[in-house]
Structure 1
């Protein structure tokens, strides 16, 4: 009996080792993240490193890839890009919103995100374009290259990344992101589809695009911000009416608001001053985190966590502290150029005033009209765990506009459970439930 028991243990142990080696063998071992500092034990694999998108220019993009926590070989591949422009997808998407880990309150470890999107998909986060996070170029002009160049670099990145991870070449591919990714993601989708059209060999298996609180057109999104302030009682009737009547936002750009009058400028300046620094415009219902206090607490190894409505509003400072630890950068194979400055985060829910749903909803309706898509699902509530998860409408069985109730600019951060439901429905091609019965997966 003793010999049989010993034999079964040895066989089980050898089998586990063989499975692990086989999984890693197909992928670049040098990019394998064995374990991040302070990370809890997990069963899925993580990889991080660089992909050279232009060897001659010395331009490389940094990525973080996490496999699905269950049966990754059966799940799709989802790319996530943050916006800004100039904000890190690794810092934002991966370690603040939808990835498997959040930083701990002392900035020196990690804890699990139970609502990570890797429950539904394999996740790929890329710091793009060059100059964001740990991505870099040896050619100075690359740091002012524009959206078209960023899309071309991301297409090159995807081609080379799939050479590193060949089993994902045939996998369903979804492109997702938020904020300025309202520009990045559609332009990347066009670049990938253009590649498919001209390729006689490999073709990207692109299945869908999803962008949250997207910056689409400044002439709609900028006035929507001030309409949000007014509708939420953050500015007066008089000031709101002045902005609506005096401001012409057609062809508006942040660099040269050439057609905005002095009276409009004065009104918007006053509105911004009234809203002030004590409101987080990305989530107007949350308390704010005081930088001087939290930074001192992190240096003293104290917990900097400040919970407001169930979320840690100081997480961005904890994340920055964590990513600047040398042992963290070493574990991620990051910062190979030894940047002379610290890592920093930056060079649509219904509580977001920066890119509120008001402008996005109108633009989606106009897009559907332009494409001659009819309404296939009327605007109405969708449900999650027996409660209203948000509101949604569908056009032409192809285009869906959905809100997440109680969410902010970073939807998965503010409403993780509802966001996971929305994402899971998207990658599985399911409509959001419009009745009060919980879905089978809840």
Structure 2
């Protein structure tokens, strides 16, 4: 069996310029940032020059041996929340300090095991923008098309990561974005005679079709500091409103029809290509309750003729981490004890454990 893994809910990434890196996008140091040995890059990728549509990104090297670590792409939900800002509350290298004027190391960042790429998507989220007003009327398809255009150009900037093991992950409404994106990459591989995406895994929090709520980001204040925006090479359009983790005044209008789409067919298509999927769910998630997620997973397993092979507790350290349901070698649901809708924020240590052991180590 293909040993690739799909961890849906959180991840993916890559590098170019001098020695394969675009040094114009290098971040010298973020205001209030502690000294670190890994490098950070950020900037824009123009996904449509005709309409002036650009997506903002933030890329962070793994803290050790980055050239031999995989790439993980992180998307977040809303739809309309900025993945870059979410990275400073979840899996990124830093979290904002209590007074929101500085940064401190995130002890449970996924850069311990992977390079990380955060993409503000769709247009109107974070610092991503378009010069064409109609581009702000978006949905799953337009978002997916822009992400595909983005990653192809991003790999041209960071060619060292083209053949790297790739993981896709994210939180909340990324339960739409990640499966759609994975299928777009797999479809690209089928028609490409040269370059192919080396997808190893997906991570999903969510498989239902309910709309999630945006959590208030503590990073809002930090990202509105002018020195921070300058260091990030962001806000090149000089927004006429305050930066928010989730859109309010950007003009973004996401399709209500797409919000109600059942994502099980998209997940089934991925499983049919022998790419395993790991779904994680906080057992205190009041937005997408675990029982609903389990019902959806059972339905998916039934459609795929996958039998339940594991129904047992999993441990993290010296305490229970949650419950695990495995359906053969392809589909796994892991509940996280005490976690809410945003597992990486409420239980970061457990989230890192799942990513390391159920996703990366599983694929090797």
Range into which the TM-score falls when normalised by the shorter chain: 0.7 to 0.9
1:43 and 2:37 aligned: yes
1:375 and 2:322 aligned: no
What is the aligned counterpart of 1:58 among 52, 55, 61?
52
Residue equivalent to 2:242: 342
| Offset of residue 316 of structure 1 | 2.5
1:326 and 2:223 aligned: no
More helix by share: 1
Q: Give me the TM-score of the superposition, normalised by structure 2.
A: 0.83
What is the aligned counterpart of 1:82 among 76, 88, 97?
76
| Offset of residue 383 of structure 1 | 0.6
Residue equivalent to 1:353: 286
Structure-to-structure mapping, 1:254-293, within 5 angstroms: none
| Offset of residue 429 of structure 1 | 3.6
- Structure 1, unmatched stretches of 5+, are 1-21, 223-280, 284-314, 432-442
Q: Which has the larger radius of gyration?
A: 1
User: Given the superposition, is the C-alpha separation of residues 23 and 59 from structure 1 closer, same or farther in structure 2, using an over 3 Å criterion?
Assistant: closer
Provide the C-alpha distance between the structure 2 equivalents of 1:178 and 1:206, rounded to a whole number of angstroms.
19
Structure-to-structure mapping, 1:29-428, within 5 angstroms: 29-92=23-86, 94-212=87-205, 214=206, 216-218=208-210, 316-317=217-218, 319-347=219-247, 348-376=281-309, 378-428=310-360
User: Higher relative contact order by CA 8 Å / sep ≥ 6: 1 or 2?
Assistant: 2
Provide the C-alpha distance between the structure 2 equivalents of 1:74 and 1:389, rounded to a whole number of angstroms.
29
Runs of 4+ in 1 over 2 A off after TM superposition: 22-25, 215-218, 426-431
CA deviations over 1:187-220 (Å, ceiling 9, x no partner): 11111111111111111101111112x15223xx
- Structure 2, unmatched stretches of 5+, are 1-15, 248-280
CA contact under 8 A between 2:208 and 2:288: conserved in structure 1?
no
Provide the C-alpha distance between the structure 1 equivalents of 2:80 and 2:72, rounded to a whole number of angstroms.
20
C-alpha RMSD of matched pairs (Å): 1.9
More strand by share: 2
Determine helix, strand or coil for the equivalent of 2:217. Answer: helix
Residue equivalent to 1:303: none
Provide the C-alpha distance between the structure 2 equivalents of 1:182 and 1:338, rounded to a whole number of angstroms.
31
Determine helix, strand or coil for the equivalent of 1:159. Answer: helix
Determine helix, strand or coil for the equivalent of 1:196. Answer: helix
| Offset of residue 359 of structure 1 | 1.3
